[in-house]
Structure 1
Amino acid sequence: MHMTLIRPTKVLIIDKAGINPEALIANGKYAYSTLYDLTTNTYRILSLHTNTFCSAGAYLANGTMVETGGAEDTAGEKNGFQSVRLIDGCDDGNCDWLEFPYELDSARWYNTMASLPDGRVFNIGGSIKACAINRKDIENPTFEFFPKEHEKGQKIQFLEDSFPFNLYPTVIVLPGPKGQTWLFLAANKKAQIWDYTSKEIVKHLPDIPGGPRTYPLTGTGALIPLSYRNNYQAEIIVCGGGTDMKDRNAPAENTCERINLADKNPQWDEDEFGPNMETGRLMPDVIHLPDGKLLYVNGAGTGMAGWDKKATNKTPRLHTAGKPTRNPLLYNPHVKKGSRWSKFAEDPIVRVYHSSATLVPDGTVFVAGSNPNRYYCGMDQCEHPTEHRAEKFYPPYLLNGVSRPTITKVSGHTKLNDVDAIPVKYGQTISVEVEVDSPTPQFTSSLSHMGFVTHSQHMSARVVELKVDNVKKSDSGYTMDITLPPHANIFTPGRHNYLFVLNKGTPGKTAIELHLETEN
């Protein structure tokens, strides 16, 4: 249900607290959080004592994962609505969750978080109880920070204006000039630019065309990968969603809407889900790839997000969404409209509600999840059963036969497999050495933060193309200079930031974790 790449080889996984006959049991309790090792295919069970169901996460600049919110008492776990949970990444192999059950100012279920340029995390929205659609008696139209700025959450009109489809709103830090404190906010059909320092609206944006884009008519929003080539111009794309929450057979929204926030008068521009797309996308996951493209996986072609519905006593339970969308889609934002979409081979595994996916440092995409059932549901019981399998998706850049670089040195550091991320500064030009089996390589570079993934929200995820200069042949390969982003609005500080070097658009065999030091 939730995942994040917490270390270069480890994915932190969190599932729903609940009774599952196939789940692991630790200390007499059902385990629903693990640390999974991508290289050894092993895991370590972690302890949680408050219910994380439908919660959120983001990283502090010191590298700590902050996970907040949740749901009611379940399967022996305590109420998690106001919980703050911290975990440091497990460099020693022994770490575990540290929980503060009543640390949030108010209860939050289906909230969104974002890592901020000043090193804190921002936390917005949700409801104080679980629901099929938000209601006035349980909505939480407030925001807060961690560490705390005030003792009480502050109201934000944006969530009132986007009611009732205002759960899991899209929140993106905008890459304006240094010192600017602007966020892009989107929920339902509403969007705006908002200043988290002054707590004021900077600009109302036009309503997003099409149907609602957030839960339970769930679409997904993303920051188009940034680049030094156009001075880190901010463009947003919002894709998919639902069209009718009362009809399981209603077609999913089949459009994407893109907006350039650098325009004097920004307007949404429709970008259909590519040629020959049979359906739209409900509950898609969007992955920022290191070559500057966006990958869309998972989801359904009809209905809405939510638990299954029992048809009759004689038939399997039906999910509230139908027609799984099994074909991954690739979006290239850098080519002309009408030529931006590609479609790939069908996934044999259905991944609908409570699916997730994240980029990992070898350039593949780790895909898991799908639990559209309130309780465990086996293969012969449900239309879409509880899914325990995980997959690795190979984007086309790994299947083109191009030689993949191996990074051997970064700013004098050669022990690149050490647990500590390499410390760097904003605007710094770093020296990078690579080995590559190619007589005519063409190098580019990017910096990636994979974010915290849940419910089609890829919180804080972004990619920035970096400038590569002074490429020279060396005894063992090539050296080059790579210039990092000039300030924290373009890329937030801390570790969990991965340097990719690409050859002709193909990423190297692994990315290197950098620690961007907090600005003064």
Structure 2
Amino acid sequence: MTRLTSHVFAALSACLYIRAVTSASVAISRTGWTATADSFETGNEPAKALDGNASSLWHSKYTPAPPDTLPNWIAVDMKATFNIHAISIQPRPSGNSNGRIGGHKIEISMDNTSWQTVAIGTFNNDATTKKTTFVTRQARYIKVTATSEAQNSVNQWTSVAEINVFHDVTGSTPTPYTAPVSGKGLWEKTINFPLVPAAVSLLTNGKVLMWSAFARDTFGGANGFTQTGIYDPATGQSSQLEVANTQHDMFCPGISLDFNGRVIVTGGSNAAKTSIYDPAGNAWTGASNMQIARGYQSTATCSDGRVFNIGGSWSGGSGGKNGEIYDPTSNTWSLLSGALVSPMLTADVGGVFRSDNHAWLFGWKSKTVFQAGPSIAMNWYDTVGSGTTTGAGNRLDDGHAMNGNAIMYDAPAGKILTAGGAQNYEDSDARTNAYVITLGAPKTNPTVAKTQSMTYARGFANGVVLPDGTVFVTGGQSRVKPFQDATAALIPELWNPGTGTWTQLNPMAIPRTYHSVAILLPDATVFQGGGGLCGASCAFNHFDAEIFVPPYLLNADGTRRTRPTINTVASTVNIGATLSITTNAAVSSFSLVRFGTATHTVNTDQRRIPLTPSGSGTSYTVVVPSDPGVALPGYWLLFAINSSGTPSVGKIIKVTL
């Protein structure tokens, strides 16, 4: 990998940003290309996927019976090296769905021997052309491997009408290749899904629950069902399910994880509904309706296990969306008449329909909830009895920061980073502002300090705390506009709490703006996906995610570092208790990162606890904080971090009262 100075990298980053805005994705001429496959039916040879005729196709061999079995592959020799960033696969004409690719892997190669995976996943079962985008790489060969058929898991056939490969062109000239910069992380691969993941949650088995709305590519109305899926990071594959038993269209909801790792989803398109996903039984169940119908609200799990809920005038009527609280034990919602929404309203030009959306909430000590934004005014909510509201001052000179981010990166110290956002929900310029809020005792004003601003203004971005305490902010756009990718910020930034400074990282391939999500995965990489959900003819639907490998996992040449391993640790631990850990090698620190959930820039579940170990060699003990407002019970990832700052794969730990 090329080594560049910080000044050169900054200039390169600016060029990459401009290039992404001004360049076009163009199909490369296939003249002279050839194709081979693991098998083919006579009359359906591999070359038919390159002939420009959508009515002809490559088909894996099916006579004489039995047919060749999956997986099937087709490989294309482009006869020269190109800088490619996308591959499209056109299924056979819609009159016959046999052989449509579902599960798949896409690889590239320079020599037809050594292959690199650039995409993996599951395509939806329809006749639309599937275009997979990834960060630009150099290749001569591509290979598409089908691991399942989209329409029928029993069938063993594969067919493709056309394959095209794309490169960036600026004007009439192919854009030169720029290698990823050393020390700036890597976008490893693209994961394709059968739906737009507009909401996600990490599950207790390490998989990712995701959903869109009543449809996989659009929203609208209270339809009573939701398209959901589960992504398995271990295989790269995902399933699809229509959830109808809870009569809940879960688009634009509040999301919180309870103490048992269940996903509590509230409101949205069916604005009064509550649905619960229990990973233990892999099942959705309905829960009691809320007292106040809501959409675009935020929820937060409290230190006693109840779930606080406030705001949400996008659906269920406008205004008056004061607080209420859910008790998972009794399955009841109770109004909190003293938890007032009015102090947390922004001055949005859209009125209360927009001004009570997406509160930045943090469950804290003594059953309180801190609201850090997006209004410039901050507030405390006490959830005892009928609730109370206590003003907590302003976020210094920040403005209202709708669709910005707030991340608790050091829970014992009460540290929260806020970044970005805009005065109004849409048609408004985003800002680069960043602040550190330090919480103390409940109902007292926190301290607020300005930290270095980001390089790129961002609204609709996502923030993820990493095991080492740095904060990864990714995606968004400089002028917020739903269902548009114009002004997208393609270069993520990493904030260092030790220095208070931001570092630009290698750019991603796919804009992530409105309806995008990002969460930390157990292997300490970041899942960033979605965006769009604006209908079948919309150009801004992103049925995919990209996986980011942070710098702490990489050597200077881009290869993976040797990671420490947690050999043994208990699967549960009480708050305030000592946790014994053994590792395969010496480490210098540990951290706990609570499971994340994300939709519409909001992730109230994630928080991080740094842990200082006692012991040496490969045997250590750490003490979990004793306050449930800090070590919020539920499921966490435990990471061991060595002296080079490299984290282990996270072990899933349940923290209990």
What interval of TM-score do these two structures reach, taking the shorter chain for normalisation? 0.7 to 0.9
After TM superposition, the structure 1 = structure 2 runs for residues 286-435 of structure 1, keeping only pairs within 5 Å, are 286-304=463-481, 306=482, 308=483, 319=484, 322-335=486-499, 337=500, 340-371=501-532, 374-378=534-538, 382=539, 385-400=540-555, 402-411=561-570, 422-435=571-584
Q: Report the counterpart of residue 593 of structure 2 in structure 1.
A: 448
Residue 603 of structure 2 aligns to a residue whose secondary structure is strand
Q: Report the counterpart of residue 206 of structure 1 in structure 2.
A: 394
CA displacement at 1:298 relative to structure 2? 1.2
After TM superposition, the structure 1 = structure 2 runs for residues 15-94 of structure 1, keeping only pairs within 5 Å, are 15-18=212-215, 20=217, 32-49=227-244, 50-71=248-269, 80-90=270-280
Contact between 2:339 and 2:381, CA under 8 Å: does it hold in 1?
Answer: no
**Separation of aligned partners in 2, 1:480 and 1:245:** 48
Counterpart among 100, 105, 109 of residue 291 in structure 2: 105
Residue 547 of structure 2 aligns to a residue whose secondary structure is strand
Q: Report the counterpart of residue 374 of structure 2 in structure 1.
A: 187
Higher relative contact order (CA 8 A, sep 6+): 1
Corresponding position: 1:260 with 2:438: yes
Residue 104 of structure 1 aligns to a residue whose secondary structure is coil
Residue 397 of structure 1 aligns to a residue whose secondary structure is helix
Q: Report the counterpart of residue 408 of structure 2 in structure 1.
A: 223
Alpha-carbon distance change, 377 to 256 in structure 1, aligned in 2, over 3 angstroms? farther
Alpha-carbon distance change, 8 to 19 in structure 1, aligned in 2, over 3 angstroms? closer
The AA in structure 2 aligned to 1:32 is: Q
Alpha-carbon distance change, 157 to 183 in structure 1, aligned in 2, over 3 angstroms? closer
Alpha-carbon distance change, 467 to 323 in structure 1, aligned in 2, over 3 angstroms? same
**Separation of aligned partners in 1, 2:468 and 2:409:** 12
Q: Report the counterpart of residue 515 of structure 1 in structure 2.
A: 654
Residue 562 of structure 2 aligns to a residue whose secondary structure is coil
Q: Deviations over 1:97-140 (max 9, x none)?
A: 1124x62112110111112221222222212627xxxx8x4552
The AA in structure 2 aligned to 1:17 is: F
CA displacement at 1:480 relative to structure 2? 1.3
**Separation of aligned partners in 1, 2:572 and 2:565:** 20
CA displacement at 1:260 relative to structure 2? 2.4
Residue 514 of structure 2 aligns to a residue whose secondary structure is coil
Counterpart among 194, 198, 203 of residue 6 in structure 1: 203
Alpha-carbon distance change, 245 to 169 in structure 1, aligned in 2, over 3 angstroms? closer
Alpha-carbon distance change, 505 to 107 in structure 1, aligned in 2, over 3 angstroms? farther
CA displacement at 1:151 relative to structure 2? 5.7
After TM superposition, the structure 1 = structure 2 runs for residues 110-125 of structure 1, keeping only pairs within 5 Å, are 110-125=296-311
Indicate the RMSD between aligned Cα atoms, in angstroms. Answer: 2.7
Alpha-carbon distance change, 344 to 149 in structure 1, aligned in 2, over 3 angstroms? same
TM-score normalised to structure 1 length: 0.77
**Separation of aligned partners in 1, 2:419 and 2:216:** 34
Residue 321 of structure 2 aligns to a residue whose secondary structure is coil
CA displacement at 1:31 relative to structure 2? 6.6
CA displacement at 1:244 relative to structure 2? 5.3
Residue 229 of structure 2 aligns to a residue whose secondary structure is strand
Q: Report the counterpart of residue 607 of structure 2 in structure 1.
A: 462
Q: Report the counterpart of residue 314 of structure 1 in structure 2.
A: none
CA displacement at 1:210 relative to structure 2? 2.9
Counterpart among 312, 322, 343 of residue 141 in structure 1: 322
The AA in structure 2 aligned to 1:160 is: S
**Separation of aligned partners in 2, 1:8 and 1:150:** 27
Contact between 1:219 and 1:283, CA under 8 Å: does it hold in 2?
Answer: yes
Q: Deviations over 1:279-300 (max 9, x none)?
A: 3111110101110111101110
Residue 457 of structure 2 aligns to a residue whose secondary structure is coil
CA displacement at 1:355 relative to structure 2? 0.4
**Separation of aligned partners in 1, 2:430 and 2:616:** 47
Residue 430 of structure 1 aligns to a residue whose secondary structure is strand
**Separation of aligned partners in 2, 1:89 and 1:150:** 21
The AA in structure 2 aligned to 1:333 is: P
**Separation of aligned partners in 2, 1:225 and 1:505:** 20
Range that drifts further, 258-267 or 38-47: 258-267
Residue 451 of structure 2 aligns to a residue whose secondary structure is strand
Contact between 1:209 and 1:268, CA under 8 Å: does it hold in 2?
Answer: no
The AA in structure 2 aligned to 1:423 is: T
Contact between 2:326 and 2:334, CA under 8 Å: does it hold in 1?
Answer: no
Q: Deviations over 1:357-387 (max 9, x none)?
A: 110111100111011x532335xxx3xx211
Unpaired segments of 5 or more residues in structure 2? 1-197, 346-351
CA displacement at 1:84 relative to structure 2? 1.1
Bigger radius of gyration, 1 or 2?
Answer: 2
Q: Report the counterpart of residue 417 of structure 1 in structure 2.
A: none
